[in-house]
Structure 1
Amino acid sequence: MAATAIVALGGLAQAQAVFKITAIPDESPTELARKAAPLVKYLETTLGMKVEFTPVSDYAAAVEALANKQVDMAWFGGFTFVQANVRSGGKAVPLVQREEDEKFRSVFISGDPAIKGLSDLKGKTVSFGSPSSTSGHLMPRSYLMKANIDADKDFKRVAFSGAHDATIAAVAAGKVDAGALNISVWEKFVTDKKVDTDKVKVIFTTPTYYDYNWTVHADMPLAQREKLTKAFLALSPATPEGKEILELQRATRFVATKASNYDGIEAAARSAGLLK
């Protein structure tokens, strides 16, 4: 796209370009904007150009935005990365992921004292996040299947809250009997005391899998990709700027990643019939 083409020229032209980033809306718009603000500022300094965070309406819109080069970089979950890679004809390139994303997990939570494990969910109402969420739908559904539980047949009702924080709210309010979500959002709510853990408890934690990453389009010049990767890898909790960004991103540090890390996610999606 125009932005990346100008970047390739380097020099003063960079100052007139706009580097656009987006993220899957797995949390509220205000939370996403809060998390993006210091990162945008950091990337502006690193890249020497204006950086804009462009919110999208849903997960599918984030996939389309990257595949159609309407944005330069996107924050994807493992499943949305796979979708973007398929949609773009194999042109989605994951640059970095948080160290935590090498061994990510999901949790099932419930406010019903009678629900103590996955088998107790049969005949109950259960909420996932977005249909395209890795940690809020795909992987929880995958582990249900491994426990011989078919969500569509064994649950009284399947709901989709749209986001991890919304799933917690639905369970806490008793709108559903249980919910599945990203473990880092759950842990943040617990730490911030935004959920009463005497009433809402974790009933199952999944095994680990690869998840989130920052992805660019393969048409981005290699020099630009390397500059972005280096910028993320340089973030350190030892500096005030790095500490703020890493804490908001819920990251210990960023590490390099590759497309093959998400082969397991793709296999799970195809097995569950969620990727055509």
Structure 2
Amino acid sequence: MFKRTLALAAGIALSVSAVCSHAADVLRVSAIPDEAPTELLRKFKPLGEYLEQQLGMKVQFVPVADYAAVVESLASDRLDMAWLGGFTFVQTRLKTGNAVPLVQREQDAQFTSKFISADPDVKSVKDLKGKTFAFGSVSSTSGSLMPRYFMLQDGIKPEEFFSRVAYSGAHDATAAWVQAGKADGGVLNASVWEKLVASGKVDTNKVKVIATTPTYYDYNWTVRGTLDPALQAKIKAAFLALDPAVPEQKAILDLQAASRFIETKPENYEGIEQAARAAGLLK
């Protein structure tokens, strides 16, 4: 019986070791679903291949259903790293106590949102009074939280000011809603707006920018706090090493809408937390 007990214990130890070894060999990565799933995968593929080369391990993209799923998956160690908006990072940090923001794009230190409309009579946000309005996801920093915060600062309470407030779920969907007349106005992040315009997916003869928010900190790549510190350092170094002068790496940066990546820190997102509390989105 003693031998059987030892054998069982050894078997369990080996199983746990195998699971841990397998987990350590795969970096599980995701992103908040602020764009269509196919677009997120397209943007990540070359970055994932680059990280595999730099880290010497498999990098797996794990799609998630919604913003909350990213937070929960990082908190429960089902994900190792994720592309988060400022508000999602704050939620993750509050939930885990130790999530680590590694890097952000250079422009994420001064990010903005664009208010748009296809109504020729609408020249400003105030002209949308009594009309329909679309945010992105409830948990989106640039598609909901910060635009709402800045509107409240201007004395505009969305649910009272607009005849109807709806949530499209993603930035590109908001632009499509406004262009199709499903909403009289909407707001989305500046980076996605610029990409949609450049790719011809939005008709600027119909849809126009009517206002731009003040700047704020937004997106970053965050890792779970329990991830090996040595691996965290290697991931950060890989992002910081991306060089726009190298064609293959410039292609990666272009897909991420980044000129380059820079280091970031939790303190950068204190303003986001304060805005979320002021807007009643955090208790």
Under a length normalisation based on structure 2, what TM-score does the superposition of the two structures give?
0.92
* Structure 2: unaligned runs, 5 residues or longer: 1-15
Q: Does the 8 Å contact 1:105/1:209 carry over to 2?
A: yes
2:21 is the counterpart of 1:17: no
2:200 is the counterpart of 1:184: no
Q: Does the 8 Å contact 1:3/1:18 carry over to 2?
A: no
Alignment of 1:135-150 (within 5 A): 135-150=142-157
* C-alpha deviation, 1:208, in angstroms: 0.5
Q: Counterpart of 1:119 in 2: which secondary structure?
A: helix
Q: Counterpart of 2:258 in 1: which secondary structure?
A: coil
Residue of 56, 59, 76 corresponding to 1:51? 59
* C-alpha deviation, 1:241, in angstroms: 2.2
In structure 2, give the amino acid aligned to 1:45.
Answer: Q
2:191 is the counterpart of 1:211: no
* C-alpha deviation, 1:4, in angstroms: 11
1:188 and 1:238 mapped to 2: Cα distance? 21
Q: Does the 8 Å contact 1:4/1:221 carry over to 2?
A: no
Alignment of 1:86-101 (within 5 A): 86-88=94-96, 90-101=97-108
The worse-fitting range, judged by mean Cα deviation, of 232-241 and 72-81 is: 232-241
Which residue is equivalent to 2:85? 77
Moved over 3 A (4+): 1-6
In structure 2, give the amino acid aligned to 1:71.
Answer: L
CA RMSD, 1 decimal: 1.7
1:3 and 1:78 mapped to 2: Cα distance? 35
2:215 and 2:17 mapped to 1: Cα distance? 39
Q: Counterpart of 2:209 in 1: which secondary structure?
A: strand
Residue of 109, 119, 122 corresponding to 2:129? 122
Residue of 263, 268, 282 corresponding to 1:256? 263
Larger radius of gyration: 2
2:255 is the counterpart of 1:269: no
Which residue is equivalent to 1:9? none
1:107 and 1:101 mapped to 2: Cα distance? 15
* C-alpha deviation, 1:5, in angstroms: 5.7
In structure 2, give the amino acid aligned to 1:83.
Answer: Q
Identity of aligned residues (%): 61
1:3 and 1:84 mapped to 2: Cα distance? 28
Alignment of 1:201-240 (within 5 A): 201-240=208-247
Q: Decide whether aligned partners of structure 1 residues 72 and 3 sit closer, same or farther in structure 2, where only a CA change above 3 A counts.
A: farther
